[in-house]
């Protein structure tokens, strides 16, 4: 099989100057709170997006993706403007645009870029962050930008928020850049400080099953922005600076200030932040039974209060639970994508089969299964 460098050379008739990779992620717990200054607990998965890049003598930008055969996105450094370019190419273009907009005058040149993504696209495993972070890591090296991981996280988030037009939080980019093998990362989305929390489930006879429901509801749409707006309204109506600053008890005491929809949306955020801290405590005690219960509570909150689940996700979760999972929940933005289930290794075949059968019975597209232990974040390969 041809390597990415060989494929790059056959497309662009030149060798790449740099090759980098960045992983997708799953979030153990702490969903839809990274834009409310919350704590989240994701880990990087083993599947990565790789990019090969070479400098050009002119100012043109040529981008190809193995996952978009036949498509060449051709533009120039002087034409970069938010929400231009083919949709898939906006992720790398956004990163280049964000770098071009940094205060320091960086001597960007035109670029040839070839992308090969092994993170399933649109499955809730953050192929978008994997793509942005692999590009940012490669360009940081190629142009000696010396940007820290934190700076790269803000920069890639800006690319997705302002160039792609998707108001995502900072979690996906942070974990794709900062992941550590063997650990989940407690990430404080307020200042991007982190603590590695060992997630050694294999030695306890457990695995984290990832169920890609194959239901795809694109996230660049109103559903996400509407939830985010509800949280901002709650903050304004409660007169606080962020939902991070109110305890669960105080929230219930002051919740009468909020209209009903704002209250139940914000209740998800406030209780989910507490569940993340509880999850860290039980993980430190290697109490996986309690971790499973927290996953179940998180799903119920996302389904009932935040209403970002969908029938396919609910089915994957409920079948996992009824087949003996310690806990299960939807992950990612919702409206499709993946669920996770914390299961005993020996029950994996039975649970997979039960989910596949239930999906067929409901007329849903057959789900895909993955599992991954916590892996390292972005790196330069060449």
Q: Give the long-range contacts of residues 318-323, CB within 8 A, separation 24 or more.
A: 319/351, 319/354, 319/355, 319/358, 320/209, 320/211, 320/351, 320/355, 321/296, 322/354, 323/347, 323/350, 323/351, 323/354
Specify whether the CB–CB gap between 14 and 222 falls below 8 A: no
Instruction: Give the C-alpha separation, 305 to 179, whole Å.
Output: 30
Candidates 297, 282, 377; CA nearest to 330 is 297
Tokens of 130: 């994997």
Residue 161 near Mg ion by CB under 5 A: no
Instruction: Give the C-alpha separation, 26 to 45, whole Å.
Output: 7
Select the span of 113-121, 134-142, 266-274, 363-371 touching ligand ADP (CB under 6 A): 113-121
Residue 96 near ligand ADP by CB under 6 A: no
Residue nearest to ligand ADP (CB): 117
CB of 173 to Mg ion, least distance (A): 10
Q: Give the long-range contacts of residues 347-352, CB within 8 A, separation 24 or more.
A: 347/323, 348/207, 348/209, 350/323, 350/324, 351/209, 351/319, 351/320, 351/323, 351/324, 351/325, 352/209
Select the span of 3-11, 85-93, 106-114, 173-181 touching ligand ADP (CB under 6 A): 85-93
CB of 321 to Mg ion, least distance (A): 26
* Residue 88's binding partner out of Mg ion, ligand ADP, none, with CB under 5 to 8 Å set by partner kind: ligand ADP
Residue 156 near ligand ADP by CB under 6 A: no
DSSP 8-state symbol, 375 = B
- How many residues does this entry show for the chain? 382
Residue 75 near Mg ion by CB under 5 A: no
Percentage helix, strand, coil for the chain under 3-state DSSP, each rounded to 5:
45, 20, 35
Write the binding mask 96 to 135 for Mg ion: x where contact by CB under 5 A, - elsewhere.
------------------------------x-x-------
* Residue 214's binding partner out of Mg ion, ligand ADP, none, with CB under 5 to 8 Å set by partner kind: none
CB of 380 to Mg ion, least distance (A): 23
CB of 112 to Mg ion, least distance (A): 25
For ligand ADP, the binding residue among 7, 9, 67, 271 (CB under 6 A) is: 67
For ligand ADP, the binding residue among 36, 49, 298, 301 (CB under 6 A) is: 49
Residue 7 near ligand ADP by CB under 6 A: no
Q: Which residues are catalytic?
A: 172
Specify whether the CB–CB gap between 330 and 298 falls below 8 A: no
- Contact set for ligand ADP, span 201-260 (CB under 6 A): 218-219
Q: 3-class DSSP state for residue 340?
A: strand
* Residue 68's binding partner out of ligand ADP, Mg ion, none, with CB under 5 to 8 Å set by partner kind: ligand ADP
Q: Which residues bind ligand ADP (CB under 6 A)?
A: 49, 65, 67-68, 87-88, 91, 115, 117, 121-128, 131, 218-219, 332, 337
Chain residues binding Mg ion by CB under 5 A are: 126, 128
């Amino acid at each position: 099989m041809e390597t990415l460098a060989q494929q790059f050379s056959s497309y662009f008739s030149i060798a790449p100057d740099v090759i980098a990779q960045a992983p997708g992620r799953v979030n153990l717990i702490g969903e839809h709170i990274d834009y409310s200054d919350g704590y989240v607990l994701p880990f990087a998965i083993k599947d990565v997006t790789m990019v090969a890049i070479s400098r050009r003598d002119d100012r043109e930008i040529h981008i190809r993706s193995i996952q978009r055969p036949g498509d060449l996105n051709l533009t120039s450094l002087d034409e970069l403007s938010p929400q231009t370019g083919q949709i898939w190419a906006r992720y790398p273009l956004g990163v280049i645009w964000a770098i071009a907009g940094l205060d320091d005058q960086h001597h960007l040149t035109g670029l040839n870029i070839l992308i090969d993504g092994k993170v399933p696209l649109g499955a809730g495993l953050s192929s978008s962050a994997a793509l942005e972070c692999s590009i940012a890591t490669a360009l940081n090296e190629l142009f000696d930008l010396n940007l820290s991981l934190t700076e790269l996280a803000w920069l890639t988030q800006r690319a997705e928020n302002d160039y792609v037009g998707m108001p995502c939080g900072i979690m996906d980019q942070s974990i794709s850049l900062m992941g550590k093998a063997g650990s989940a990362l407690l990430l404080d989305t307020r200042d991007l400080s982190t603590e590695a929390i060992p997630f050694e489930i294999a030695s306890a006879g457990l695995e984290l099953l990832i169920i890609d429901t194959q239901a795809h509801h694109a996230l660049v749409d109103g559903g996400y922005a509407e939830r985010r707006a509800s949280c901002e309204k709650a903050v304004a109506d409660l007169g606080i600076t962020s939902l991070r600053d109110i305890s669960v008890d105080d929230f219930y005491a002051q919740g009468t200030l909020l209209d009903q929809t704002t209250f139940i949306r914000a209740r998800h955020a406030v209780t989910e932040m507490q569940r993340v801290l509880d999850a860290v405590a039980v993980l430190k005690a290697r109490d996986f039974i309690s971790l499973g219960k927290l996953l179940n509570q998180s799903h119920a909150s996302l389904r009932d209060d935040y209403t970002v689940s969908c029938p396919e996700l609910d089915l994957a979760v409920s079948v996992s639970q009824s087949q003996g999972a310690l806990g299960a929940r939807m992950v990612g933005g919702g409206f499709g994508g993946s669920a996770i289930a914390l299961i005993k290794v020996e029950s994996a075949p039975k649970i997979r089969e039960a989910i596949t059968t239930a999906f067929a019975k409901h007329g849903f597209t057959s789900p895909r299964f993955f599992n991954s232990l916590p892996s390292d974040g972005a790196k330069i390969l060449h």
